[in-house]
Chain A
Amino acid sequence: MLDAKIPPGPLEEKWNHYKSHAKLVNPANRKKLDIIVVGTGLAGSSAAASLGEMGYKVKSFCFQDSARRAHSVAAQGGVNACKNYKNDGDSVYRMFYDTIKGGDFRAREANVYRMAECSANLIDQAVAQGVPFGREYGGYLNNRSFGGVQVSRTFYARGQTGQQLLLGAYQALMRQVHQGHVQLYTRHEMLELVVIDGKARGVIIRNMDTGAIERHSAHAVVLATGGFGKIYFLSTLAMGCNGSAIWRAHKKGALMANPSWTQIHPTSLPQSGEYQSKLTLMSESLRNDGRIWVPKKQGDQRPANQIPEEERDYYLERRYPAFGNLSPRDIASRAAKERIDAGYGIGPLKNAVYLDFSRAIREQGEDKIKEKYGNLFRMYQKITNVNAYTEPMLISPAAHFSMGGLWVDYELMTTIPGLYALGEANFADHGANRLGANSLLQASIDGYFIAPYTMANFLADEIKTGPIGIKHPAFDAAESQVKEQLQLLMAIKGKEPADYFHRQLGHILYDKCGLSRSAAGLQAALGEIKELRTDFYKNLHVPGGLGLNGELEKAGRVADYLELGELMCYDALTRNESCGAHFREEYQTPDGEALRNDKDFSFISAWGWTGNDQPPKLHMEPLHFEFVAPTVRSYK
């Protein structure tokens, strides 16, 4: 049984209790302690900067050519915080409740409450850094609404909130680099975790420009490496996003929690051809003013503007009148899939639904809409060549966010002592479905406000350890393992590039472990992934050498995906209920809503690696609901 180390006391006192009782490292001792932070997105940059400011010796790594490019940069819509600036009844408890309910009662109460509790402070921090959030004319901060809630608590910086928050964190990080508290390594990819006497003590890193394999040691290691939704090949993620760092930590003993819970985002641009490399997201904020519909008639060929109002099916407004177009993402995506599968899909591949702004433009004027979403409309036009001010957008669901990730306790520590997972790389706060604008929040909170406290609690006992060094046999072993794997991939000398296998894996997962799953489908997927993996190790072709080589980078990531994909299927197969993004066809209500089973499945599935081609081992962390009673999650 896993112990999450939740502090005692009432919900609103837990974090305070923790902070008041955790061990501290005095300022003079911090410079004796090394910390490695992998990833420079919001979670990684904020953690590395904050720890650097405190005086620890930090090394920060990212695979991008600059820390500013990590994929947090692409988050569009906003970041939630319960400031209650709109006087519309918001509170820490309300935000906590919305998030727990949004996650379909599959997250820890204490973690979620802490996230809500720290949210207001994040806005203060970001504003102090110079993040240009949207303002009202009087000069105070403005808010918008997001899916799954009935208050306006989302702070935004046009449609580029992620970019601006990340630049704030990046600049804080650059300041620490300048001051010498953080050493920055760009174009460096983590390929192995080094564990000494049961503790995380370092990493093996590949310099992607030279191919050199480097050793780095530390007293603690932080993985803030983001999500692995790119496993579906077509996703809203960046091309380089990958699951390799957390997967390799998993194979070194860190448990992986709820890996199959992937958020499929409802408002992405539909796929248009086989050559396609990604699906571009259109921010959920568009659903504030856009109305989603399909024609009432199957296979209606008329252009959208010629379909009269009474022949349109605004299916979200019809099925979920209380939340309508702002229903949570899992609900909105599933409802779109239901209409598309039933033959009402639109577009050349019949794989999309309309997102229509005509009423909003009529009521508010085109200028107002342009001010709110101008960059998104422009992006839409660039990609599709369609002017969304005059005809509706075509949107479609796409793989987006990993609610699952490395299992962490309340301190964000994995099952390997000294190894922490922050942001999307962990599983902690979103349950089975993440609410919009909570991911920037979680990443930032983990890095700015939680890890700096909880890591001290661990590092306090490391003051006497002394420098770790890179000579321990565990470093030799990890380094040889990395080199052998790279050589193995190069030596296959088959015919197909890594993308060929990745695409097929994506097809299998979208089809059988995506928006809806069934036992039969998942069983079949397990077989297909095994076969694909065998084929990969026979037919992979990696051109070039061990130096700078984009194809070699891809091959290593796909090798990991081919194992992680299998674990996702095991995870989905063993959870005989539907909850949030996990929709098992066998478990639904007569009107097609998710049917949760609290009696048997109110737990977190944390999986252990048992060896190549061995079934994973399931560990459970029971979820206790002391402060809220799980209810049927209804947005009607």
Chain B
Amino acid sequence: MHIRLKVWRQENTDSAGKLESYELKEVNEDMSFLEMLDVLNEQLMRQGIRPVEFDHDCREGICGQCGVMINGRPHGPLKNTTTCQLHMRSFHDGEEIYIEPFRATAFPVKCDLKVDRSSFDRIIQSGGFVSVNTGQAPEANTTRITSPLAEAAFDAAACIGCGACVAVCKNSSAALFTSAKITHMALLPQGKEQSQDRVLHMVNQMDEEGFGHCTNTEACEVECPQEISVLHIARMNWEFNKAHLLRK
């Protein structure tokens, strides 16, 4: 198939960027989207043009490193699919495809399609853990956790930290990302102990990083590759209010 691309090119964080047009004449529909970008880069290099920088690593949908806006949607047109798992069969011959970075104040562009998502790490650093040192753990089966509870915690823990939720949100809110970790920890007995501090610190850090507030458009759930539910945001709000009230 034949495709036309409009790709965001930006030298560095401080420079202005713009869309450049490229064309690929022979694209195989079984190629992944990132393999199509590999082919584009090889073509650009042979033409003496600097290849497009984009983030990617595992290419099997789990590391969370890849992610671009494709025709205005994070990770492109397929539901619950990362960019690396999207294949060219989802596009039609002759289609024009716009490729841009995930945009948010808290995700500054580094170069072309690469963005800085270290703000997510700092949110986790502020409280997204159980305070247990190596060696302190009791025998694993002393705490029973019913299968439905473990599964519910898993649903939240499955987040891959790609940032699609932020990119799609009109407020650039990180509520889905943050609430997923808060729910994961709050549901399990191991994490309950610290849930009050955790939610206060994480929500505070989220604000400090420059993420916007959630206004419940629920677009994040629609675009999330891991189908993380917006109900976690409701739980985060509840946990936050509870913690706020009970704060000593």
B153 CB → nearest A CB, Å:
4
- Whether the pair A382, B85 counts as a contact (CB closer than 8 A) is yes
* Cβ-based interface call for A139 (8 A): yes
Q: How far is the CA of A139 from the CA of B34 in the complex (A)?
A: 41
* Cβ-based interface call for B58 (8 A): yes
* Cβ-based interface call for A385 (8 A): yes
A520 CB → nearest B CB, Å:
34
B40 CB → nearest A CB, Å:
11
Closest to A172 in B: B129
Which residues of B sit under 8 angstroms from A157, Cβ to Cβ? 154
A531 CB → nearest B CB, Å:
22
- Whether the pair B184, A132 counts as a contact (CB closer than 8 A) is yes
Task: Choose from B86, B87, B144, B154 the contact partner of A158 (Cβ within 8 Å).
Answer: B154
A452 and B157 in contact, given A73-B63, A74-B63, A276-B35 (Cβ under 8 angstroms): no
* Cβ-based interface call for B185 (8 A): yes
Task: Choose from A65, A85, A142 the contact partner of B55 (Cβ within 8 Å).
Answer: A65
A338 CB → nearest B CB, Å:
27
* Cβ-based interface call for A89 (8 A): no
- Whether the pair A541, B45 counts as a contact (CB closer than 8 A) is yes
Q: Which of A104-112, A463-471, A544-552 contacts B (4 or more CB under 8 A)?
A: A544-552
- Whether the pair A238, B61 counts as a contact (CB closer than 8 A) is no
Q: How far is the CA of A541 from the CA of B45 in the complex (A)?
A: 8
Encode contact with A along B54-95: 1 for CB under 8 Å, 0 otherwise: 011111111111000000000000100100011101000000
A275 and B140 in contact, given A64-B65, A160-B158, A238-B58 (Cβ under 8 angstroms): no
- Whether the pair A239, B144 counts as a contact (CB closer than 8 A) is no
- Whether the pair A141, B110 counts as a contact (CB closer than 8 A) is no
- Whether the pair B45, A543 counts as a contact (CB closer than 8 A) is yes
Which residues of B sit under 8 angstroms from A497, Cβ to Cβ? 41-42, 45
- Whether the pair A65, B118 counts as a contact (CB closer than 8 A) is yes
Encode contact with B along A127-141: 1 for CB under 8 Å, 0 otherwise: 111101111111111
Task: Choose from A142, A238, A548 the contact partner of B12 (Cβ within 8 Å).
Answer: A548
- Whether the pair A134, B150 counts as a contact (CB closer than 8 A) is yes
Which residues of B sit under 8 angstroms from A273, Cβ to Cβ? 28, 30-31
- Whether the pair A174, B121 counts as a contact (CB closer than 8 A) is yes
A130 and B64 in contact, given A209-B110, A544-B50 (Cβ under 8 angstroms): no
A175 and B129 in contact, given A209-B110, A449-B134 (Cβ under 8 angstroms): yes
Which residues of B sit under 8 angstroms from A281, Cβ to Cβ? 60
Closest to B161 in A: A68
* Cβ-based interface call for A454 (8 A): no
- Whether the pair B128, A171 counts as a contact (CB closer than 8 A) is yes
Task: Choose from A46, A73, A275 the contact partner of B134 (Cβ within 8 Å).
Answer: A46
A448 and B146 in contact, given A66-B118, A130-B185 (Cβ under 8 angstroms): no
A238 and B141 in contact, given A53-B133, A171-B128, A275-B31 (Cβ under 8 angstroms): no
* Cβ-based interface call for B204 (8 A): no
Q: How far is the CA of A120 from the CA of B147 in the complex (A)?
A: 21
* Cβ-based interface call for A10 (8 A): no
- Whether the pair A139, B134 counts as a contact (CB closer than 8 A) is no
A17 CB → nearest B CB, Å:
19
* Cβ-based interface call for B117 (8 A): yes
- Whether the pair A128, B64 counts as a contact (CB closer than 8 A) is no
Which residues of B sit under 8 angstroms from A71, Cβ to Cβ? 57-58, 63
B93 CB → nearest A CB, Å:
17
Encode contact with A along B98-140: 1 for CB under 8 Å, 0 otherwise: 0000000000001100101110110011101111111111111
- Whether the pair B85, A135 counts as a contact (CB closer than 8 A) is no
Encode contact with B along A150-193: 1 for CB under 8 Å, 0 otherwise: 00000001101011100100111011011000001010000000
* Cβ-based interface call for A383 (8 A): yes
- Whether the pair B57, A132 counts as a contact (CB closer than 8 A) is no
Which residues of A sit under 8 angstroms from B128, Cβ to Cβ? 171, 174
A69 and B65 in contact, given A138-B144, A383-B87, A550-B51 (Cβ under 8 angstroms): yes
* Cβ-based interface call for A280 (8 A): yes
* Cβ-based interface call for B241 (8 A): no
- Whether the pair A74, B116 counts as a contact (CB closer than 8 A) is no
A residues lining the B interface (CB < 8 Å): 46, 49-50, 53, 64-69, 71, 73-74, 83, 85, 121, 123-130, 132-142, 157-158, 160, 162-164, 167, 170-172, 174-175, 177-178, 184, 186, 209, 238-240, 272-273, 275-278, 280-281, 379, 382-383, 385, 448-449, 452, 495, 497, 499, 541, 543-544, 547-548, 550-551
Q: What 3 A-B pairs have minimum CB-CB distances, sorted nearest first?
A: A139-B144, A128-B137, A171-B129
Q: List 29 A-B contacts (CB under 8 A).
A: A64-B63, A65-B55, A66-B161, A69-B63, A69-B161, A71-B58, A73-B58, A125-B135, A125-B137, A127-B140, A128-B138, A130-B153, A135-B147, A142-B147, A167-B157, A171-B128, A175-B125, A177-B121, A184-B121, A186-B118, A239-B57, A272-B30, A275-B31, A280-B59, A382-B78, A449-B134, A497-B42, A548-B12, A548-B53
